[in-house]
């Protein structure tokens, strides 16, 4: 299987603290992957490196068929290349309507002058409406996203990610603060998305990870501790040590 | 400003209930897709009826002043007051620029009055050069020999730069003889400065308060530079006599003041339309996104720096044009006009008017600057308090400063917020955390505007 | 003849002046009588031997006589030709004083006396002769005065007198001064080149003004021109110049030729116009229509016409000018003929300049250091509020101003300057501390996490406070006088000096650095402040009251601004705009240094202080330009270190 993203030998430290330590990771073009690990394992920093927010001290991050290096690209270029990211806390533009949020995320030219003269066609609107249906917000298109509930904001953010049509989705704790029904819905959305693209889910909640039913990577102290199915990794002695302590 | 114009000029979703049934294009099953979605393609003015209302008000205002003016009408309004009104229109225009860059894009620039001043300097150079040239040619006409170009040039230079002890043209005056070039420079010089400065600042991710201080430093540097006698722009004397249009000596100031009023009104109208058009589309959506959560916009794939630079430069150009219209009415420009304090006042106007809405900026600039003229002009009656009589010339700034604090504390939406009260606009009652990791911008409370 | 006359005259004097004591006969009066002809003749050319006779006589009265003679107080009694000092008592009567004893010798009408009126040249000669007396005067003060007088206005004749007096000089300090002056005089008046060169060499690296004042005239040059390709060999040529170069423009070079009569003058534009105007005849000049004379070329042609008609001076053409310039050599030559001396002087001066430059750098560094301390003092309060609390206080400058005005008010009440400063410092702290706490309680605490709004609100306070100060104290500057012991400067040498006020401000800055470090690292308050800075919620759950900490921190920052205000007021005038002048620099200091770190503020203040002085040094005429360039530098600096010199990295930096 070809790889979409390949991270190899990446390290980064903040003021002497090694947040990521010689981390290697790769994912194929259509794959669902969960990343778990205790607090401080470097999950968020890993996402920061892939999305260009943090520059690593050493290592390579290669992308796509041409093996382009993501380290030389700005955050916006990386996003344009097809890496979408969902933050831990839902971050949508609360001041703007659901429609505007989705329209902003829609895959279109990102250049300021093109954006200036951009006026949505009816296909664009239909696409937004379709997305809204997918995330269950079709009835709320004209509402300000600030008025939505926490779970709806999470979906809206996932919807915005889908609108970006990324080839890789990085999702940080999507289920946090959701009701059971909302979780099920979220699982569906993610599984559906992973049929056409790579999806990386960072999650604490084992139950949610189990529901995703996918390959799991366990991070600990900035490097990969174990990889495999959830059942496989939960039987790993190192993982048990890390999670339960000695 | 009409109240109902203000209400509908809000972001498009505000009037969604009105527009709801306009949607339903294509073969989609009828569903509540939100008015905003459907109404978008219906044309700019249809989506922003307030723009038309504003233009209408501006036209009525201009017409009324013209009719009441000394130059063309009944002579009820003095020429100097017509000039004050004309200048106020220019200030409204620069306030729109400030609102775009601050209220919409979240960059608290303390440098836009510097761009305003630069625009004024650029047009002032031509006005002063050309008028001095006419005077010199006139005075040399009686000489026994017809003047040579060199003599004329030396004569102009001596006239203009005598006060700073120089008699040669500095390099910056190279194009002062040409009106078209200087007009182009009105746009190019502020634009270029904004482009270079903005590129440097945004590229290094300077944001929030840092950026404000940096823009203030830029303004201070420019003002200090212009204060020098060898800056080539007459040091602290500045450029003067700008109210006299070369070749139009025969036209009375009363008439010229009305012309400038028209020009300023036209510029303000066009500026308003441009600003409304820019923020109404997706670009407006993106820059408001940058204001609220810059990092999020970046992860959506938008080159945030490019957008900021675009807005910063565009507004600098608008400020330059406003300045070029303002200073011929003021008659004089000197480096004190560019001092950092002026740019802060600009922020004060926009804040008091209500940022994040274009009409707010216009109201704030007009209201505060006219009130300031009234108070500092000595027209306001003294306030006897028994033991102490408050003289407004002395106490106006104290009042302004304190009211500014009060507005910031208790009415962050400014005067524009009053229109929301009138229209009983419903606010979302859901409270969440602040909007994003960048605490430099808005919290939820303002985001709900 | 005099030898024969002498006993005769002496006998005569005895007879004619029975009052005079016998002992003085061989004394001063006799000596004067001996030289009476010369003295009476009073001619510069012939007076020399008479002055020498007096100066070399070794008589104790000689000095007084010469001084009085120089002052035109010496008279000859017509009746007997004796010398007296005389003073006018009445309109036309004089009291005589004996030249030897100093006793009154009666009163005479003015027509009985001949006043000796030595002319300026003679008086100068007398003065020079007198110097040797002063140089060996028993009173050290007089000797020092004499040295100063010679140093100020040296003459060739002083050299010998000075040399003569050195050996007998008892005071070591004065002796050293004499030897030094001797060398200086040798440079100017030494007889052999070798002697002068040695004297010059001995002053290498000496930065005192008098050395440069002595050496510079030796290197004075005169600009001249000579035909041919080489300067005349008999002149001590400093350098040859190429016309059109930096040192000599073509116009100047040609002007030199014209002045020397070596070339024909070029007519100036004004003269040309005048000539044309003078020759206007029926709308034409030399057959050219006046109305066409609106270009330089047309006027040249018309003038050439005039010249060819003999109506105007012909003017040199461009080619002639060029040829003339090419045919001559332009050069600067020293007035001093000796090549060895000028070369030695050049060498000595360049070594002196090197050491002057070193000293200047030191002086500049001291200046920069004191500027840095002022910026540090002004910025430290801001660093606390901005760095620790993340609050931008635009009214910080006005707190500085409040501190300065507090100092002024205290001085109005307490007239003793030392005492008033001692009262003003804590009082200024108290006043601004209270103002800071009030502001924090009333305004800032509602605006935490909205820095831009804080900026605007505090700006509103800033304009209100500034106008309030204007309303109370007026617009004119108020003096804040420093105590006497802070007046003056610590002078290290001619170049390096630093005023005591600046030293005091430097010390104050150090004290504040120490106090701040102590508070932050060694006290409970500091611990709590750091806790609240890093995590307010956590701190609150540990029983720290963040409200109280914020309030105290803000008060502390403001209070320090007040003390900085007193310091700044001592050194600059107190006006309502005082704070405004420092606020931008203070922000720059904090931003450049890096937020949230006192060492960063220190580094920022040092950088900005040194930078500003450095730029001023490069362009000393223009402090405005210096500030402009400094700000531009800072804007560029931010490009490379957006978070300042000392930056926090990682998640703590908040990105």
- Whole-structure pTM value: 0.79
What distances in angstroms separate CA B219 from CA B114, B338, C378, one per listed residue?
Answer: 6, 7, 21
- B85 and B188 Cβ atoms separated by less than 8 Å: no
Instruction: Give partners of C (≥3 CB pairs < 8 A).
Output: A, B
- C463 and B401 Cβ atoms separated by less than 8 Å: yes
CB contact under 8 A, A100 and B35: no
Nearest Cβ partner of B397 from C296, C299, C467? C467
Interchain contact C269–A (C-beta under 8 A): no
Q: Which DSSP letter does residue C574 get?
A: B
Could you tell me where the beta strands, DSSP code E, fall in A37-186? 58-63, 68-69, 83-86, 168-172
How is B204-217 classified by DSSP, letter by letter? Answer: TT--HHHHHHHHHH
CB contact under 8 A, C649 and A17: no
Predicted local confidence at residue B144, as pLDDT: 79
pLDDT-based confidence at C7, cuts 50/70/90? low
- Residues A55, A60, A63, A66, Cα dihedral to 10°: 130
**In whole angstroms, what is the distance from residue B416 CA to residue B406 CA?**
15
**In whole angstroms, what is the distance from residue B112 CA to residue B316 CA?**
6
The two structure tokens encoding residue A152? 């709806």
Q: Which residue of C has its CA nearest to A15?
A: C649
Considering only CB atoms, which chain A residues are within 8 Å of C651?
A: 14
Residue B204: CA atoms inside 13 Å, Cβ hemisphere, count?
19
Interchain contact C594–A (C-beta under 8 A): no
The domain of A189 spans 5-244
Residue C205: CA atoms inside 13 Å, Cβ hemisphere, count?
2
pLDDT-based confidence at C22, cuts 50/70/90? very low
Interchain contact C650–A (C-beta under 8 A): yes
CB contact under 8 A, A105 and B16: no
Say if residue C653's pLDDT is above 70. no
pLDDT digits (tens, 9 = 90+) for C48-105: 787 777 777 777 777 777 877 877 778 888 777 778 888 777 777 788 887 777 777 7
ipTM associated with this complex: 0.87
3 state SS of C187: helix
CB contact under 8 A, B145 and C452: no
3 state SS of C532: helix
- C401 and C579 Cβ atoms separated by less than 8 Å: yes
Q: Which residue of B has its CA nearest to C293?
A: B146
pLDDT digits (tens, 9 = 90+) for C496-550: 888 888 888 889 889 988 988 888 888 888 888 888 877 777 888 888 888 888 8
**In whole angstroms, what is the distance from residue B227 CA to residue B233 CA?**
9
- A198 and A31 Cβ atoms separated by less than 8 Å: yes
Residue with tokens 């390579």: A60
Chosen from C442, C459, C461, C611 to mutate, greatest number of chain B CBs within 10 A: C459
Considering only CB atoms, which chain C residues are within 8 Å of B395?
A: 467, 471
Q: Cα-flanking dihedrals φ and ψ of residue B182, to 5°?
A: -65, -35
Q: What is the share, in percent, of chain C residues with pLDDT greater than 70?
A: 94
Nearest one of A193, A97, A99, A103 to A145, comparing CA atoms:
A97
3-state secondary structure C72-134: CCEEEECCCCCEEEEEECCCCEEEEEECCCCCEEEEEEHHHEEECCCCHHHHHHHHHHHHHHH
Interchain contact B188–C (C-beta under 8 A): no
CB contact under 8 A, B303 and A118: no
pLDDT digits (tens, 9 = 90+) for C258-313: 888 777 777 777 888 888 888 887 778 777 888 888 888 888 888 888 888 877 77
Residue C472: alpha-carbon gap to chain centroid: 38
Domain count across chain A: 1
3 state SS of C192: coil
Q: Which residues pair with C97 in a beta bridge?
A: C85, C104
CB contact under 8 A, C452 and B434: no
**In whole angstroms, what is the distance from residue A177 CA to residue A156 CA?**
15
C648 CA to chain A: closest CA distance, Å?
9
Interchain contact C4–A (C-beta under 8 A): no
- Average pLDDT over every residue of C378-383: 86
Predicted local confidence at residue C8, as pLDDT: 53
Predicted local confidence at residue B22, as pLDDT: 34
What is the CATH classification number for the domain harbouring A47? 3.40.50.300
- A142 and B36 Cβ atoms separated by less than 8 Å: yes
pLDDT-based confidence at C345, cuts 50/70/90? confident
Chosen from C647, C649, C650 to mutate, greatest number of chain A CBs within 10 A: C650
| Phi-psi group of B205: left, alpha or beta (phi > 0 → left; psi -120 to 50 → alpha; rest → beta) | left
Task: Please list the ranges in chain A whose pLDDT falls under 50.
Answer: 246
- B54 and B286 Cβ atoms separated by less than 8 Å: no
Q: Which DSSP letter does residue C653 get?
A: G
CB contact under 8 A, C293 and B145: yes
Strands A168-172 and A198-202: parallel
Chosen from C596, C651, C652 to mutate, greatest number of chain A CBs within 10 A: C651
User: Which residues lie below 8 Å from residue B53, measured CB to CB, with a gap of 6+?
Assistant: B2, B4, B5
A223 CA to chain B: closest CA distance, Å?
25
Interchain contact C449–A (C-beta under 8 A): no
> How many residues are recorded in chain C?
655
Kind and range of the H or E run holding C332: strand C328-334
User: Which residues lie below 8 Å from residue C115, measured CB to CB, with a gap of 6+?
Assistant: C72, C74, C75, C86
Sheet with strand A215-220: strands edge to edge: A83-86, A168-172, A198-202, A32-36, A215-220, A223-229
Interchain contact C647–A (C-beta under 8 A): no
CB contact under 8 A, A76 and B11: no
CA angle B103, B108, B110 (to 5 degrees): 130
The two structure tokens encoding residue C144? 């020092």
Q: Is the dihedral of CA B231, B232, B233, B236 positive or negative?
A: positive
Mean pLDDT of chain C: 81
CB contact under 8 A, B148 and C296: yes
- Average pLDDT over every residue of C580-608: 83
Q: What is Dmax (Cα atoms) for chain C?
A: 121
Digitized pLDDT (tens) for each residue of chain B, 449 residues in all = 344 444 334 333 333 333 333 333 333 333 444 444 444 445 677 777 788 889 999 999 999 999 998 878 788 888 889 999 999 999 999 999 999 999 999 999 999 999 999 999 999 999 999 999 999 988 888 877 888 888 888 889 988 888 888 778 888 898 988 999 999 999 999 999 999 999 988 888 887 878 888 898 889 889 988 988 878 888 888 999 898 888 888 888 889 999 999 999 999 999 999 999 999 888 999 999 999 888 889 888 899 999 999 999 999 999 999 999 999 999 999 999 898 888 888 988 998 888 888 999 999 999 999 988 888 877 777 777 777 777 888 888 888 888 888 888 888 888 887 877 766 554 444 434 333 333 333 333 333 33
Q: What is the share, in percent, of chain C residues with pLDDT greater than 90?
A: 8
């Amino acid at each position: 299987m070809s790889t979409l993203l390949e991270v190899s030998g990446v390290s980064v430290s903040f003021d002497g603290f090694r947040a990521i330590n010689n981390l290697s990771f790769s994912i194929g073009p259509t794959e669902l992957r969960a990343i778990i690990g205790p607090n401080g394992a470097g999950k968020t920093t890993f996402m920061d490196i892939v999305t260009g927010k943090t520059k690593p001290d050493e290592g390579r991050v290669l992308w796509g068929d041409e093996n382009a290096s993501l380290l030389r690209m700005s955050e916006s270029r990386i996003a344009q290349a097809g890496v979408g990211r969902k933050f831990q806390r839902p971050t949508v533009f609360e001041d703007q309507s659901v429609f505007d949020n989705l329209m902003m995320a829609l895959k279109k030219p990102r250049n300021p002058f093109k954006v200036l003269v951009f006026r949505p066609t009816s296909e664009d609107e239909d696409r937004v409406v379709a997305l809204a249906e997918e995330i269950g917000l079709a009835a709320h298109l004209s509402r300000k996203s600030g008025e939505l509930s926490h779970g709806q904001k999470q979906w809206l953010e996932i919807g915005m990610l889908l609108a970006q049509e990324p080839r890789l989705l990085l999702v940080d704790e999507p289920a946090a603060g959701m009701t059971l029904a909302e979780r099920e819905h979220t699982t569906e959305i993610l599984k559906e998305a992973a049929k056409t693209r790579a999806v990386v889910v960072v999650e604490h909640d084992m139950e949610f990870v189990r529901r995703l039913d996918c390959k799991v990577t366990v991070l600990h102290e900035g490097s990969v501790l174990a990889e495999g199915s959830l059942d496989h990794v939960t039987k790993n002695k190192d993982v048990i040590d890390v999670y339960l302590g000695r | 400003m009409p109240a109902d114009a203000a209400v509908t000029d809000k972001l498009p979703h505000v009037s969604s209930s009105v527009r709801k049934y306009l949607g339903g294009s294509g073969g989609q099953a009828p569903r509540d897709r939100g008015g905003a979605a459907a109404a978008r393609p219906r044309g700019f003015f249809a989506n922003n009826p307030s723009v038309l209302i504003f233009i209408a008000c501006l036209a009525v205002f201009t017409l009324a002043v013209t009719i009441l003016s000394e130059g063309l009408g009944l002579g009820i309004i003095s020429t100097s007051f017509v000039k004050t009104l004309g200048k106020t229109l220019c200030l409204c225009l620069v306030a729109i620029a400030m609102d775009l860059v601050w209220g919409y894009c979240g960059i608290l620039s303390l440098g836009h009055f510097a761009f305003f001043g630069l625009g004024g300097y650029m047009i002032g150079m031509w006005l002063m050069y050309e008028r001095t040239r006419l005077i010199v040619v006139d005075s040399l006409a009686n000489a026994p020999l017809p003047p040579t170009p060199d003599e004329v040039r030396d004569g102009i230079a001596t006239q203009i730069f005598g006060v700073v002890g120089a008699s040669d043209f500095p390099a910056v005056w190279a194009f002062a003889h040409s009106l078209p070039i200087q007009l182009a420079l009105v746009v190019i010089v502020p634009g270029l400065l904004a482009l270079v400065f903005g590129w440097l600042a945004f590229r290094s991710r300077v944001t929030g308060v840092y950026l404000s201080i940096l823009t203030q430093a830029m303004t201070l540097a420019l003002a200090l530079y212009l204060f020098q006698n060898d800056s080539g722009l007459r040091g602290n004397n500045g450029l003067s006599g700008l109210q006299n249009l070369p070749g139009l000596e025969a036209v009375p100031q009363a008439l010229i003041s009305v012309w400038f009023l028209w020009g300023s009104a036209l510029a303000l109208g066009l500026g308003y339309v441009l600003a409304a058009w820019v923020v109404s589309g997706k670009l407006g959506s993106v820059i408001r996104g940058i204001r609220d959560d810059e990092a999020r916009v970046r992860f959506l794939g938008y080159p945030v720096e490019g957008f900021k630079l675009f807005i910063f430069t565009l507004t600098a150009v608008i400020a330059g044009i406003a300045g070029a219209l303002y200073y011929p009415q003021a008659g004089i420009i000197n480096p004190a006009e560019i001092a950092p304090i002026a740019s802060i006042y600009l922020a004060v106007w926009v804040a008091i008017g209500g940022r994040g809405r274009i009409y707010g900026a216009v109201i704030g600039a007009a209201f505060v600057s006219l009130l300031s003229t009234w108070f500092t002009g000595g027209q306001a009656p003294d306030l006897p308090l028994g033991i102490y009589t408050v003289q407004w010339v002395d106490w106006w700034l104290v009042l302004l400063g304190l009211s500014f604090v009060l507005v910031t504390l208790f009415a962050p939406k400014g005067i524009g917020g009053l229109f929301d009260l009138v229209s009983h606009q419903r606010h979302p009652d859901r409270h969440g955390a602040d909007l994003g990791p960048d605490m430099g911008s808005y919290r939820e409370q303002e985001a709900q505007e | 003849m005099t030898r024969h006359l002498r006993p005769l005259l002496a006998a005569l004097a005895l007879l004619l002046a029975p009052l005079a004591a016998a002992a003085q006969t061989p004394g001063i009066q006799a000596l004067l009588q001996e030289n009476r002809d010369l003295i009476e003749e009073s001619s510069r050319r012939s007076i020399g031997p008479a002055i020498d006779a007096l100066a070399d006589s070794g008589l104790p009265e000689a000095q007084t006589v010469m001084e009085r003679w120089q002052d035109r107080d010496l008279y000859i009694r017509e009746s007997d030709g004796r010398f007296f000092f005389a003073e006018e008592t009445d309109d036309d009567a004089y009291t005589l004083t004996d030249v030897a004893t100093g006793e009154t010798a009666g009163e005479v009408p003015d027509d009985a006396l001949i006043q000796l009126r030595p002319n300026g040249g003679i008086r100068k000669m007398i003065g020079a002769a007198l110097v040797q007396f002063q140089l060996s005067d028993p009173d050290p003060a007089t000797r020092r005065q004499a040295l100063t007088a010679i140093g100020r206005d040296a003459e060739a004749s002083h050299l010998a007198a000075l040399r003569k007096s050195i050996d007998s000089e008892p005071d070591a300090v004065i002796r050293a001064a004499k030897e030094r002056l001797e060398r200086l005089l040798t440079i100017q008046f030494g007889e052999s080149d070798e002697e002068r060169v040695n004297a010059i060499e001995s002053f290498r690296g000496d930065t005192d003004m008098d050395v440069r004042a002595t050496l510079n005239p030796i290197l004075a040059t005169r600009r001249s021109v000579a035909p041919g390709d080489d300067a005349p060999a008999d002149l001590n040529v400093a350098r040859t110049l190429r016309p059109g170069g930096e040192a000599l423009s073509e116009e100047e070079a040609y002007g030199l030729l014209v002045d020397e009569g070596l070339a024909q003058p070029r007519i100036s534009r004004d003269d040309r116009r005048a000539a044309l105007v003078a020759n206007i005849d029926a709308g034409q000049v030399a057959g050219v229509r006046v109305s066409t004379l609106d270009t330089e070329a047309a006027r040249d042609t018309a003038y050439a016409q005039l010249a060819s008609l003999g109506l105007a001076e012909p003017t040199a053409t461009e080619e002639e000018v060029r040829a003339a310039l090419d045919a001559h050599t332009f050069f600067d030559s020293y007035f001093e003929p000796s090549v060895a001396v000028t070369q030695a002087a050049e060498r000595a001066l360049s070594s002196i300049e090197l050491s002057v430059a070193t000293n200047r750098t030191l002086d500049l560094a001291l200046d920069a250091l004191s500027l840095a301390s002022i910026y540090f003092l002004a910025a430290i309060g801001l660093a606390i509020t901005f760095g620790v609390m993340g609050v931008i206080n635009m009214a910080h400058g006005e707190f500085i101003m409040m501190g300065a005005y507090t100092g002024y008010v205290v001085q109005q009440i307490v007239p003793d300057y030392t005492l008033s400063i001692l009262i003003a410092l804590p009082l200024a702290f108290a006043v601004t501390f209270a103002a800071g706490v009030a502001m924090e309680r009333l305004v800032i605490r509602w605006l935490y996490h909205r820095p831009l709004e804080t900026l605007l609100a505090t700006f509103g306070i800033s304009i209100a406070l500034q106008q309030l100060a204007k309303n109370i104290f007026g617009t004119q500057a108020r003096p804040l006088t420093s105590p006497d012991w802070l007046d003056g400067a610590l002078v290290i040498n001619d170049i390096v000096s630093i005023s005591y006020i600046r030293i005091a401000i430097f010390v104050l800055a150090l004290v504040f650095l120490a106090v701040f470090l102590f508070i932050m690292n060694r006290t409970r308050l500091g611990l709590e402040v750091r806790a609240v800075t890093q995590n307010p919620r956590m701190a609150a759950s540990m029983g720290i009251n963040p409200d109280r900490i914020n309030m105290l921190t803000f008060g502390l920052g403001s209070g320090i601004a007040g003390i900085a205000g007193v310091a700044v007021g001592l050194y600059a005038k107190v006006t309502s705009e005082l704070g405004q002048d420092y606020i931008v620099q203070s922000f720059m200091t904090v931003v450049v240094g890096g937020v949230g770190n006192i060492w960063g503020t220190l580094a920022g203040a040092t950088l900005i202080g040194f930078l500003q002085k450095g730029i001023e040094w490069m362009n000393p005429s223009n402090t405005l330009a210096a500030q402009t360039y400094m700000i531009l530098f800072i804007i560029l600096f931010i490009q490379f270190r957006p978070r300042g010199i000392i930056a926090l990295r990682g998640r703590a930096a908040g990105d």
